Amino acid sequence: MTKIAVLGNGRVGGNLAAALARAGHEVTVADRTPGAAADAARTARIVINATPGASSLDRLAALREELRDKILVDVSNATTDGPDGLPADLIYPGSSLAEQLHNALPETRVVKTLNTMLFPVMTSPETLTQTPTVFLSGEDAQAKQSVRELLTDLGWQKEWITDLGGIQTARATEAAILFVPHVIRSTTGFTPFAISIAR
């Protein structure tokens, strides 16, 4: 059992919080109430960033002290939205939200994951008709191992998890979000799907 704080109580945060609680973890969800994010982060070992990516950097940078020595699992993508509300462009071209958080929070171990799929797949990867892939990016091997264990609790088999390397590799997975709206518009709609590496 791990104390986990989920920042963001929308579909992504709520889905992750419920699944992690079912897996036996002690989960706190921070809403927009003043001080809620700080209180939740202060008492957790692992903090999950499920806030909107466009505002994540400002929100989390304000929690620098509360996030000291914590593992920060970043599942968000920082994009501008098109007219239909789907991602249009990257906010940090040539970088990534994960790198921005890594630089702004030097005493926090940032791990990027779960950002290349529609949110239902995050907690139910086995429901897809083909094997999905989930990626890890981060500088701290121990932190990535802890996140790997959380992914296992969410139903991800170890052979579905690919460690891409350092935090800079998050640029690739965050850029993949630009592929998603075209898939939604052209074929599947919002039917759950994920990126998969076929070998």
Instruction: Reply yes or no on whether the pLDDT at 147 is more than 80.
Output: yes
The confidence band for 181, taking pLDDT boundaries of 50, 70 and 90, is: confident
Tell me the pLDDT band of 191, cut-offs 50, 70 and 90.
Answer: confident
Give the pLDDT confidence score for residue 5 in this predicted structure: 98
Q: How far apart are CA 92 and CA 189, in angstroms?
A: 27
* Token couple for 94: 């040539």
Residue 44: pLDDT band with limits 50, 70, 90: very high
Confidence of residue 1 (pLDDT cuts 50, 70, 90): confident
Note the pLDDT of residue 185: 84
Please give the Cα distance from 154 to 6 (Å, whole number).
15
Cα-trace Rg, the chain: 16
Alpha-carbon span 104 to 60, nearest angstrom: 9
Quick one: pLDDT at residue 188?
A: 64
* Positions of E strands within the chain: 3-7, 26-30, 46-49, 71-74, 79-81, 87-90, 109-112, 134-138, 161-165
Using pLDDT thresholds of 50, 70 and 90, give the confidence band for residue 40.
Answer: very high
Listed residue (176, 190, 193, 174) closest to 76, CA to CA = 174
Residue 187: the pLDDT is: 76
| Structure confidence at residue 31 (pLDDT) | 81
pLDDT tens digit string along 76-120?
Answer: 999 999 888 889 999 999 999 999 999 999 999 999 999 999 999
Over the stretch 5-20, which tens digit does the pLDDT of each residue have?
999 999 999 999 999 9
What integer is the mean pLDDT of 17-34? 93
Place of tokens 């239909």: 84
Q: Average per-residue pLDDT in the chain?
A: 95
First-to-last C-alpha distance (Å) of the chain: 34
User: Residue 36 above 70 pLDDT?
Assistant: yes
Statement: residue 32 has pLDDT above 90: no
How far is Cα 167 from Cα 124, in angstroms, rounded to an integer? 25
Q: What is the mean pLDDT of residues 171-181?
A: 93
CA distances from 129 to 54, 92, 112, 157, 183 (A): 32, 33, 25, 15, 17
